[in-house]
């Protein structure tokens, strides 16, 4: 995985509010969580939530889908695994050098 892609993902997750949003989205599973439920659960103003969701979308950590009038945020688990894998793959690589 490209280091710039990983850096962007980690940068977006480095903000406490975005990390809280992402944690809630990840916990929701593959069905995702409605934006309104996120707002209620985290007590975040709508405009603030929208700003942070935008950042997570731009890093491709989440996606959105619409069902009727409800907008859901869904974790991109493959992206999450790629970011974690990028760090894990480096574990102890230089140990025997």
- Which residues does residue 75 pair with via DSSP β-bridges, in sequence order? 62
For residue range 5-23, list pLDDT tens digits in order.
999 999 999 999 999 999 9
Domains located in the chain, CATH noted = 3-85 (1.10.10.10)
Average pLDDT, the chain: 95
- Which residues does residue 63 pair with via DSSP β-bridges, in sequence order? 74
Please classify residue 28 by burial: count the beta carbons closer than 10 Å to its beta carbon, then call 0-12 exposed, 13-18 middle and 19+ buried.
Answer: middle
Two structure tokens written together for 64: 């959105």
Given this model, what pLDDT does residue 94 score? Answer: 85
């Amino acid at each position: 995985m490209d280091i710039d892609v990983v850096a962007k993902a980690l940068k977006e997750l480095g903000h406490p509010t975005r990390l809280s949003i992402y944690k809630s989205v990840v916990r929701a599973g593959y069905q995702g969580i409605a934006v309104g439920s996120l707002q209620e659960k985290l007590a975040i103003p709508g405009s603030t939530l929208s700003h942070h969701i935008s950042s997570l979308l731009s890093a491709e950590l989440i996606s959105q889908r619409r069902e009727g009038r409800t907008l859901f945020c869904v974790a991109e688990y493959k992206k999450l695994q790629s970011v974690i894998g990028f760090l894990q793959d480096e574990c102890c690589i230089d140990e025997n050098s």
